Amino acid sequence: MASVRALLPGARALLPGARGRVWLPSRFPTLRPFTARANFEYIVTEKKGKNSSVGLIRLNRPKALNALCNGLIEELNQALEAFEEDPDVGAIVLTGGDKAFAAGADIKEMQNQTFQDCYSSKFLSHWDQLTRVKKPVIAAVNGFALGGGCELAMMCDIIYAGEKAQFGQPEILLGTIPGAGGTQRLTRAVGKSLAMEMVLTGDRISAQDAKQAGLVSKVFPVEKLVEEAIQCAEKIASNSKIITAMAKESVNAAFEMTLTEGNKLEKKLFYSTFATDDRREGMAAFVEKRKANFKNH
């Protein structure tokens, strides 16, 4: 949840767009029309891949190490919604810059919040939209993924890391604790002991340690990271979108259900694939030794 930019050399707390006011999440602005290259203030979006089947979202507050201000989260949510509704897009890549994926939440935006403000306005609840996207989301993490940045990466379905990436939950150093899933998702990803150590000390782990612990799928050279993430997203997007959504739902259920309940859901979703044209096409293509032509039905 919190940022450690105050603890990083040369980092300054910036608050562009806040106009000196404390934001409460109950005040949502009117959404602007979206295009693949919409003129956002805090993010950059485009479609990638041979068939423009990958939606790329790049966090773009480099002077603030991509600190997650409210305006950035609102724009991220708008971009996610647009790519979710785009029939050509089958997967999404979320990345930042070489120095920072996101160094945390913007502390100046939250330092004057009271308990009443946080509780009554469900502070940070709008961060969860990423977890409700049906299309697979790959986090491509270079540099710092700290506090809210680490939490944002863990909301994604797959995490690829650059070899110099660092992950951490340093909120304890600021007198608070993670508030956007850090204590919960990190523990499920790396186990209690390492998660407890990271949360209680504020220590960071390297990309290599994150991979060994199970937080990260693969580690790549910094300059190749985003390209590799896009290639993975393209491969995912070549499959049936409706079947991919079912597969994602089933895997995610493993974090919410008992083994017995999860197996029951898996069976129901498995049976559901037999009501789709794409399941018929996929099996027919296999038998006929040809490439499947999925129609997402």
Q: Is 281 an annotated catalytic residue? A: no
Report the C-alpha gap between 282 and 240 in whole angstroms.
Answer: 9
Catalytic residue selected from 148, 168, 179, 202: 148
Q: Which of 11, 82, 105, 195 is catalytic?
A: 105
Among 74, 75, 109, 171, the active-site one is 171
Strand boundaries in the chain, DSSP class E: 43-48, 54-59, 91-95, 100-102, 137-141, 144-146, 158-162, 166-168, 204-206, 218-220
Six token digits for residue 288: 């006929």
105 is catalytic: yes
Residue among 21, 171, 4, 239 at smallest CA distance from 103: 4
C-alpha of 219 from chain center: 17
Integer Cα distance of 295 and 170 in angstroms: 46
Question: Hey, which residues does 144 pair with through a beta bridge?
Answer: 100, 166
Instruction: Return the number of other C-beta atoms located less than 10 Å from residue 89's C-beta.
Output: 24
Among residues 151, 228, 234, 266, the one annotated as catalytic is 151
**Sheet with 54-59, edge to edge strand ranges:** 43-48, 54-59, 91-95, 137-141, 158-162, 218-220
- Crossing angle of helices 148-155 and 182-190, rounded to 10°: 60
Distance CA 295, CA 14 (A): 46
- List the structure tokens of 126: 């709008």
Q: Please tell me whether residue 166 adopts helix, strand or coil conformation.
A: strand
As annotated, the active-site residues are 105, 148, 151, 171
